[in-house]
Amino acid sequence: MSHNVLSRPSIFDGTMGMSLVDDVVGLHPPQLWINVQYGQFFQDHKLNIGEYILSKVKEFGFNYVSSPEVGFLKTLGGKLGKSNVKLVLQFLDEQVTEPSTKQTYGAILKDLKSIKTFASGILVPKTYIWPVNKDHYLQPATNLVKDAHALGLEVYAFKFANDDISSYNYSYDPSAEYLQFIDNSDFSVDGVLTDFPSTASAAVACLAHTKHNPLPPPGNDTRPLIITHNGASGIFPGGTDLAYQQAVEDGADIIDCSVQMSKDAVLFCLDSPDLTKGTTAATMFTTKVATVNEIQNGSGIFSFDLSWSEIQTLKPDLVGPFSQAGLKRNPAAKNSGKLMTLAEFLAFSKSSNVSGILVDIRNAPYLATRGIGIVDAISSALVNASYDKETRQQVLIASDDTAVLGSFNNFPAFKRVLQIGNVISDVSRASVEEVAKFADAVSITRGSVVQAQGSFLVRFTDVIDKMHAANLSVYVGLLKDEFMNLGFDFWANPMVEIVTYSSLMADGIVTEFPATAAEYFRSPCSDFSKNLTYTIMPAKPGTLINLTDHSALPPAQGPAPVLEPADVVDPPLPAVTVGGHGAASSSSNDSSTTSSAMASGASSGLCLLVAGLAVLLAVCSR
C-alpha cells in the first residue's frame, strides 16, 4: 500500500495477491476502465498489449481505455473501429516528454483539436485545471475544461487522495476539493480518478448543488448542534474575531469562549491560560515564564501574569496539532485577527444569527488564590450583556467542575454542561445520577463513544445511550479535519466521523471546522429517514480490524475506566483570597467583565478537576 504519510494502515502490506483483469470483471462493475501505462515497454519486450486489450474488449466489453502514449491509442483506435470503447489520453506532468510524439505534454495540451482525432477525452492531473501556487493555495482555474468541452472532449482529473496535502483552501476536507471540480459556477469535469472512491461518490450524490440549502434546525429528529471550539479555529487563530466571524459564516449553531483572565481582571477568549499556546507570547515575554502545576505540567506564560494592555501587544498564533507532520493550518492567516474580550464576544454573538453561546470556565480554584473570582466575573458579564434575560439564544455554561456548574443554579435558563475530559468506557448508574444533579448535558471525548486499537475502531460504547436515559444531552468532541486525527475506519474523511456520531444520536458535535459539519447537514443524505439510492454511511467498528492478522497488531491497551460518582462530584468552591499572591487589580479596560472579579463571596471561584491524560490514539484524542 502506498503511503503519503502514516494515515493508511501498513498492516495489510503484502497480505493480498495481485488482481487479474478477470478478477476485477468478476466483481461485475457497472463500467470498467483499463489504463495501459507503458504500451511502448510491452512492445519493446515483444508483448502485444493492444491485441490483449482487443480480446478483452470482445470478452468483457470495456468502457474506457486510457494511456499516456499517443501512438498506442492511435493504433488501438484503428483496430477498435466503431466500438463504443472510449479512448482517453492521460497527461503526465507538463514538462514530461510523450514517447511517441517526442513532445512535452504541455505542448500537446495546446493542440486539443489533434487529440480529438483519436480520443474521446483527456485524463489530466488536477493542477491542470485548478493550479496551486508554491504556498499551496489555489490559483484561478484554467480554461482547459471549457475548451475541451467545446471540442467535444470529455475531461477527467486525477491525483485525488483524502490524505494528500493538496491546497489549504480545502482545510483538509476532501469533499470540498471534489466539489471544486464538479460543483462550481463555470464548469464541471466529467469524472475523477481517486484512491478514495466513496468520498468522491458522496460529493457527487450527496453534496453537489447543496451549498445554498438551508440548514435544518437541530433536534432529535433532524441533526446535532454544531458547536465550535474557539470559533473556526481550524481556519483562523482560535479565540479571535476572525475565527468567530468564520464560524458564523460556516453555519455554526453554538460559538464558544474559553474564558481566561488577565492580571488586571479583564476576561477574554483563548483556549488556554498559557499564552504560549495560541499567541506569540514566547517571543515577547520570556521574563514572565512560570510553572503552575495546578494548571499544567511544564512552564508557560500565563494570562494572569500579564495586563490586558500587554496581552493586546501579542499576535494570535495559528498552530495546528499536526504541524510537525507537515499538516499546517492556513499559514496565510497564522497571525491574523485579534483576541476578543468576553464583553466583545457576547456583543458579537448577540448581533449574529447563532442559536446560542457556550462559555467554558476553568482554573477557578487557582485563580481564587490570586484574588480573582472568575465565576462571579463571568456571571456579571452575562448579566451586563442581558443574557440572563435572553430568549432567542441559548446559554451553555461548560466546566469539568460540578461546583462551578452549581454556581449557576440561580440562572435557570442557562444549560449546564459537565465536561468529562478523560476517556471512559462506560458509566455506572450512580455516576449518571450524580451528573444529572449538576448538569443538563455532558461533553465527552470521541474515545468515550468509540473504542479503538491501533487506530482501528473496535466497538461503540453505551455512554451516549445511558446519558440519554437520564435525560442528559451529549456533546462529542473534539473533531478536527486533519486525516491524521481519524481512525482508519473513517477512510481519512472527516465527514464520515460526523455521520457516525450523528447516527449514534449525539446531541452536538464540538469541532474546529464547523463548515465541514454544515456541509453534510445541508445535504439530503443527512436525513436518515430518506430512502436514498446512495448515502454516506457511518463507520462500522470492527470491519477493518477483523480483516487483519491480529498477531501483527500492537498490544491492546487495557480498557478505559468506568465513570463512577467519585469522578463526578467536586468539593465546594473556595473563597476568593483577597490580597492573595499576585492578586489582580481592578481595570477600566473592560468594566463589564470586572465589576465583581475581586469580590470575596464564597460563591465565587471554581474548583477545576484537571483532566488526566487521554489515551494516545488518533481516534481517541481530544
Rounded CA-CA distance 197/203 in Å is 10
Of 163-172, 546-555, 558-567, the one with minimum mean pLDDT is 546-555
Nearest C-alpha neighbor of 578 from the set 597, 606, 603: 597
Residue 363 phi/psi, 5-degree rounding, is 65, 20
Dist CA 235 CA 224 (whole Å): 22
Residue 35 above 70 pLDDT? Answer: yes
Q: What is the DSSP string of 437-493?
A: HH-SEEEEEGGGTEEEETTEEEEE-SHHHHHHHTT-EEEEEEE---GGGS-GGGTT-
* Residue-level pLDDT at 595: 33
10-207 fold: TIM Barrel (3.20.20)
329-358: average pLDDT: 98
Whether residue 592 has pLDDT greater than 60: no
Given a contact cutoff of 8 angstroms between Cβ atoms, the answer to whether 441 and 414 are in contact is: no
Average pLDDT over residues 43-61: 89
* Cell numbers representing residue 15 in the block: 497480505
Set of cell numbers at residue 251: 453555519
Tens digits of residue pLDDT in 255-304: 999 999 999 999 999 999 999 999 999 999 999 999 999 999 999 999 99
Q: 10-207 and 225-620: same fold?
A: yes
pLDDT value for 215: 96
- Name which residue leads in pLDDT, 368 or 499: 499
Long-range CB contacts (within 8 A, 24+) of 432-435: 432/466, 432/467, 432/469, 432/470, 432/472, 432/563, 433/470, 433/565, 434/402, 434/565, 434/568, 434/569, 435/467, 435/470, 435/472, 435/568
pLDDT confidence band for 607 (50 / 70 / 90): very low
Amino acid at 277: K
What is the pLDDT, as a whole number, of residue 81? 82
**What's the whole-number average pLDDT of the chain?**
91
pLDDT in tens, 14-34: 888 889 999 999 999 999 999
Q: How many CB atoms lie within 10 A of CB 285?
A: 19
Domain range list for the chain: 10-207, 225-620
Q: How many Cβ atoms are within 10 Å of 181's Cβ, its own excluded?
A: 22
The answer to whether the CB of 94 falls within 8 A of the CB of 103 is no
Report the topology of domain 225-620: TIM Barrel (3.20.20)
Mean pLDDT of 245-249: 98
- The pLDDT tens digits of the residues spanning 167-207 come to 999 999 999 999 999 999 899 999 999 999 999 999 999 99
Please give the model's pTM, rounded to 2 decimal places.
0.90
Please check whether residue 377 is in contact with residue 593, taking contact to mean a CB–CB distance below 8 angstroms.
yes
Count CB-CB contacts under 10 A for residue 558: 8
Task: Specify the 3-state DSSP secondary structure of 5.
Answer: coil
585 residue type, one letter: S
**What 3-state DSSP class applies to 536?**
coil
* Contact criterion met (CB below 8 Å) for 571 and 36: no
Cis? peptide before 54, omega within 30° of 0? no
Q: Indicate whether 609 pLDDT > 60.
A: no
